[in-house]
Structure 1
Amino acid sequence: MKLEKGELPEPLDAEARRRVSPVICYPVNSLAPPDLAAYRAAREGWQKVDEVIVPPRDARCFAVPAGCFFRIVSVEGPQVGDLNLWAANDLNERFFSGKTRALHGTHLSTGDRLWSSLPYLRPMATITQDTLDWYGFDAWGGSVHDVIGTRCDPYTHRLLSGHDYHHCCHSNLTRALAHHLSRPRDMVEPAVHDVLNVFMCTGFTRGTGQYFMKASPVRPGDFLEFFAEIDLLGALSACPGGDCSAEHSSDTAACHPLLVELFRPMTPPEGWTSPTRNSYSGEHGD
């Protein structure tokens, strides 16, 4: 008789195999931790030099020179944002959510860094303050600012619903980047990539391992603050899911704008230098 999936008997040593201790894939002990005291000291006397309002169900681009700070701020109501980053002079160097997740974990907060794609692999930005760091991990295993989701997109929406929706975060980011660069949308779309889900509260279900979302704990005035390690081009989408408490990729949820603020310090953080690209030779062996 053919057994269906899940009907195979457990091996006799199943429990022993489950008890094997895990090993951290990427120990980060060799990485120099960010000097948060120096970053914080650099705020003294800083000057706000620009701000960008991101409308609900839309996206906007912004530029941040190396050595400056930027904040993503909740200004009206609970709202999730999807963040893309690129090196300002090279769209091929972009935020690498997968490697950032491998180095820092599924959710980011103060002291974590956003790393760039291969072959560059260097810090693009450092999180210097997070007003939601009190949340931690809840009873469901949920936390905020995840690098486990992708971004809501019209292709998955079409696959699952059979309908087109044009204000998914992927589409919002594509429109914003095309407008900023004055290029056709189909030319810039491949540069849109997996995001940092700012303010989003997510995790994985215990039984099935499915990605879940729940109402964001973000309040007006909360912010996530970054220090730009290199010259950056950013794009932020105010997700059509609002606080992502029920659904996304629709016009059902209540949505709110987000604010991006840019600050220039009087002097760079003490001892800071902009990181160079990864020093691997690129030979890849014989």
Structure 2
Amino acid sequence: MTSSTTSRPPPQPAYQATPGSILNVNRNFYSTLAKADRTPIEAFTLPIRSGRAWTVPAGHIVRLSTPEGPQVGDLNIWNLHNPRERFWAARTRQLHASHVSTYDRLWSCLPYLRPMVTIIADTLGGREGYDVDEWGGRCHDLLGTRCDPYVNQMLSGDEYDFHCHSNLTRAVLPYGLTEFDVHDVLNVFQVTGLDKEGRYFMEASPATRGDYIEFFTEQPVLMALSTCPGGDLSTWGWGEGGGGEEGEKKSMVECCRPLGVEVFALTDPAVLSGWSEPQPPKYRGRHGMQIPGGEA
């Protein structure tokens, strides 16, 4: 029997937020944070095809914006004091969705598994602004990862040093990290999806001048952002077949724009009353090491 003739209900999400679950955030609290008075403590503009890292204390707000129009950014996050704890894109995708928006959290890797940041505002998210399009595309992508010089060289034979992987690598060097610390990203302002054959596709960013996404830092973090060399992805040319029909492509650099970064402290600390830094799960086992042959 084919799927078109079955009447079974659609499968349920594997991870569902139940009352009291850490997945079921207090929306009133985070909505209050988004509207609360704030004091700017750092702001900079990230030029095209570059990367930069910066530190943020716990309990602060970070805004990433498109000050001159659409531009994709690749975001990495580490715990400020322990870079082994870093953003885990795959688990975040499972716990929330393939594309994230307001009230979703970005989770850290094992054995820490706790929220690093919570999204508190988003002018483009799939559940608030840019809805799913006719191809199934959504914004703020967790399906893909950063562009890198290795796959580019493998597929095209070209050498290029300003892919997002390289931009992030340069950005974290002053903080004692290396290429090996760069990890899978959140592609902010990027629209992606899977076609009917399950193949990954990218579309032009729908961002306009002044769009933004805001994060509340649940722990002290080091963040790094790359302004993707593909710009707004209205055209792109790395890899086999990239960029559309020959003769229709414009230079990718013409599609590149800066990204804005702002960090804020909450003006009234009382807004954070009752909030505390999330702690890792209290798993105290030893992964069955006492029975190396496995469970009987």
Kindly state the Cα deviation for residue 209 of structure 1 after the two structures are TM-superposed: 1.3
Structure 2 distance, partners of 1:157, 1:105, is 28
**Structure 1 residues 161-195: Cα deviation after superposition (integer angstroms, max 9, x where no partner):** 011111100000000001x22x4xxx611110000
Quick one: distance in 2 between partners of 1:274 and 1:201? 31
Residue 178 of structure 2 aligns with an amino acid whose one-letter code is V
Inter-CA distance 276–15: structure 2 relative to 1 (3 Å threshold):
closer
Q: Distance in 2 between matches of 1:225 and 1:248?
A: 30
Percent of aligned pairs sharing the same letter: 45
The residue number in structure 2 matching 1:202 is 192
Please give the secondary structure, in 2, of the residue aligned with 1:90. coil
**Following the alignment from structure 1 to structure 2, what is the Cα–Cα distance between the partners of residues 203 and 16?**
23
Q: Return the alpha-carbon distance in structure 2 between the equivalents of residues 135 and 197 of structure 1.
A: 15
CA separation in 2, counterparts of 1:196 and 1:36? 22
Aligned to 2:218: 229
Match of 1:85 in 2: 77
SS at match of 2:147: coil
The reply on whether 1:246 has 2:235 as its aligned counterpart is yes
- Contact residue 169 and residue 240 of structure 1 kept, 8 A: yes
* CA distance 1:282–1:239, change in 2 (3 Å): farther
Displacement, 1:282? 4.0
Structure 2 counterparts to residues 212-223 of structure 1, below 5 A: 212-223=201-212
Aligned match of 1:36: 27
Structure 1 CA distance, aligned partners of 2:183 and 2:212? 23
SS of 1:141's equivalent in the other structure is coil
- Secondary structure in 2 matching 1:224: strand
In the other structure, the counterpart of 1:135 is 130
SS class of match (1:69) = strand
**Alpha-carbon shift at residue 89 of structure 1 (Å):** 0.7
What whole-Å deviation, never above 9, does each CA across 1:228-260 have from its counterpart, x for those lacking one? 000010000000011112215596242111011
User: Residue type matched to 2:13 in 1?
Assistant: I
Amino acid at match of 1:272: W
**What's the TM-score, normalizing by structure 2?**
0.85
Equivalent position SS for 1:165 = coil
Deviations 1:57-88 (A, max 9, x none): 01100111100000001111210000000000
1:27 maps to 16
- The match for 1:172 is 167
Partner residue in 1 for 2:149: 154
| Gap regions ≥5 residues in structure 1 | 1-12
Quick check: 2:231–2:252 contact (8 Å CA) kept in 1?
A: no
Alignment of 1:102-141 (within 5 A): 102-132=94-124, 133-141=128-136
Aligned twin of 2:246: none
* Partners of 1:233 and 1:121 in 2: CA distance: 17
List alignment gaps of at least 5 residues for structure 2. Answer: 240-250, 292-296
Q: CA deviation at 1:27?
A: 2.4
Deviates more, 1:17-26 or 1:263-272: 17-26
Counterpart contact for 2:30–2:103, Cα < 8 Å: no
Instruction: Say which SS state the counterpart of residue 178 (structure 2) adopts.
Output: helix
Alignment coverage as a number of residue pairs:
268
1:18 & 1:50 partners in 2: Cα distance? 56
In structure 2, C-alpha distance between the alignment counterparts of 1:15 and 1:229, rounded to whole Å: 43
Distance 2:84 2:69 in 1: 34
Query: What's the counterpart of residue 286 of structure 2?
Result: 283
> Given the alignment of the two structures, is residue 99 of structure 1 paired with residue 91 of structure 2, yes or no?
yes
Supply the AA of the counterpart residue of 1:196. Answer: L
Give the Cα separation in 2 of the matches to 1:282 and 1:106. 31
Aligned to 1:76: 68
**Range moving further from structure 2, 141-150 or 241-250:** 241-250
TM-score by length of 1: 0.88
Give distance in 1, aligned partners of 2:166 and 2:6: 42
CA distance in structure 1 between the partners assigned to 2:62 and 2:201 by the alignment: 28
Q: Distance in 2 between matches of 1:137 and 1:28?
A: 22
How far apart, in 1, do the equivalents of 2:221 and 2:272 lie?
A: 18
Deviations 1:68-117 (A, max 9, x none): 00000111121000000000011111100000000111000000000000
